[in-house]
Amino acid sequence: MTRFSMTVCLAATLFSAPAHAAVDDCMVGTWIADLRDIADMMSVQMQGTATPTNGEVSMEILPDGMFTLLADDMTLSIAIPDIPVMSVKVVGYSAGRIDAADNAFIAAVDDYTLVGSADVLGQTMEIPFDSATGMGGGGIGWFECTADTLRFEATAGGEVNPNQMPRLWHRR
């Protein structure tokens, strides 16, 4: 089965679920994102290196699937070839709903306020984010959950889409 057909089957399964289906019990609670994993994702996206230096990203998932993701001064030091090292900070939250069953998920965001800023050579520049492309913007894909670890792999058109849901979380 191709990734595309798996995504279509996943969407059909989740959309056919009751409107207020609960998430897997394992997902309920407060999770802290692995900042090293977020930095690794950023390194690939920006074709450079990223190192976490401050803050955290947390997410609370309720039994009905409602979630809130909070970026609390998450700061990364980012080095890109031919550009001075920059400090990138993300603050704000996203909130919405996750429908998750049989290791498949769809996350939709209703409220998105994440804001990024980069400090380069003493100058601060705003980095535009939106729920369609930014971290915490939702997604569709698969998940794995254990007592202390939650992992998401979001897919879009058959390709892994690392922009959306941070991949690796640990229970608070």
CA–CA distance, 132 with 114 (Å, rounded to integer):
12
How many folded domains does the chain comprise? Answer: 1
Burial of 71 (0-12, 13-18, 19+ CB in 10 A): buried
DSSP H or E segment with residue 168 = strand 168-171
Q: Residues 110-138: pLDDT tens digits?
A: 999 999 999 988 899 998 888 887 888 88
Residue 53: its pLDDT value, please? Answer: 97
In a domain, 63, yes or no: yes
Structure token digits, residue 18: 């009751």
Its pTM stands at 0.83
In a domain, 172, yes or no: no
Q: Residues 45-64: pLDDT tens digits?
A: 888 999 999 999 999 999 99
CA–CA distance, 107 with 75 (Å, rounded to integer):
24
Residue 16: its pLDDT value, please? Answer: 42
Dihedral pair phi/psi, residue 38, rounded to 5°: -60, -40
Burial of 86 (0-12, 13-18, 19+ CB in 10 A): buried
Q: For the chain, what percent of residues have pLDDT higher than 90?
A: 63
3, pLDDT greater than 80: no
The pLDDT confidence band at residue 70, using thresholds 50, 70 and 90, is: very high
In a domain, 171, yes or no: no
Q: What is the mean pLDDT of the chain?
A: 85
Q: How far is CA 95 from the centre of its chain?
A: 12
CA–CA distance, 10 with 104 (Å, rounded to integer):
6
CB 110 within 8 A of CB 137: no
The pLDDT confidence band at residue 155, using thresholds 50, 70 and 90, is: confident
In a domain, 48, yes or no: yes
In a domain, 40, yes or no: yes
Q: Based on C-alpha coordinates, what's the Rg of the chain?
A: 16
- Domain extent for 157: 3-166
Which residues are 59's β-sheet partners? 31, 69
26, pLDDT greater than 60: yes
Query: What is the number of residues in the chain?
Result: 172
> Quick one: average pLDDT of 95-116?
94
24, pLDDT greater than 50: yes
